[in-house]
Amino acid sequence: MEKQINIKGIKLNYRQVGNGDPMIIMHGWGCDSSAMALFERVGAEHHTVYNLDLPGFGKSQEPPMPWTVEDYTQMLEAFVEAQGISAPILLGHSFGGRVAILYASRNEVSKLILVDAAGVKPRRSLSYYIKVYSFKLARRIYPLIVGKEKAGKKIEAMRSKRGSDDYKSSSPVMRQVLVKAVNSDLKHVMPSISAPTLLIWGEEDTATPMRDARIMNKHIANSRLVSFAGAGHFSFVDNPYQVTAAVRRFIQPND
């Protein structure tokens, strides 16, 4: 059943299905709750599932300003409190994984599932830094050379050419959200996660590579890594049956 609630002054859309102990699901960047239907169905076998449209995605309102991962985590904390949820199972894919990591580091979670999750600041090549600093230089120099109006157009053209597909397809506010998220590193909070944690990864993931999975596995004490050959950033799409089986075993209620 699709529902809506006002959290932190914005409309949050979510799906609630099933019965039993709570499970919260959060999608990745550029997606919405519909992308997590596979996990929703598996969770609903024994749990009450809350499958969120994170703010700025799906039918949820966009944040009024560029939110940080901290803001999204505070939103989740407010949602949990409003619903009267206690010690949920938390599942996050990609960007949703960032929120899940920070939440689990300071709140009670019965189990944590991170699917091709973000949260480790990516390594940067020399070419990346050249692009970044040339862009910053252009933002300072162009207005002096061609004026503010023409400079704005030139800079936006540079941004569009160099930006990722996620960046280019986002609104101005969500572009800044993405920049803040990508530049955040959550390694320092991972040792604070005490919940049993399952890491599910595609071995061909280029967005959040296996290096990230191994770092999380090292920093989260009670964690186990399961990876799938031939699968990419959406490992649950590339390998649905095995991913489903791994999640089902992990969240199966204790008799």
d(CA 212, CA 201): 10
Six token digits for residue 200: 């599910």
Burial of residue 73, with CB atoms counted within 10 A of its CB: 0-12 exposed, 13-18 middle, 19 or more buried:
buried
Report the largest interatomic distance among the alpha carbons of the chain, rounded to a whole angstrom.
72
pLDDT digits (tens, 9 = 90+) for 78-116: 999 999 999 999 999 999 999 999 999 999 999 999 999
Residue 30 has pLDDT above 90, yes or no: no
pLDDT digits (tens, 9 = 90+) for 137-160: 445 545 555 556 654 555 455 555
Give the distance, in angstroms, between the CA of residue 181 and the centroid of all CA atoms in the same chain. Answer: 9
Q: Mean pLDDT over all residues of the chain?
A: 87
What contacts 127, CB < 8 A, 6 or more positions away?
Answer: none
Residue 134 has pLDDT above 60, yes or no: no
Q: Taking the domain 2-121+184-251, which CATH number applies?
A: 3.40.50.1820
In the chain, CATH 3.40.50.1820 covers 2-121+184-251
pTM of the model: 0.84
Residue 180 zone, left/alpha/beta (φ > 0; ψ -120 to 50; rest) = alpha
d(CA 40, CA 34): 9
pLDDT digits (tens, 9 = 90+) for 188-230: 999 999 999 999 999 999 889 999 999 999 999 999 999 999 9
Per-residue pLDDT at 212: 96
Residue 60 has pLDDT above 70, yes or no: yes
The closest of 48, 42, 43 to 1, measured between CA atoms, is: 48
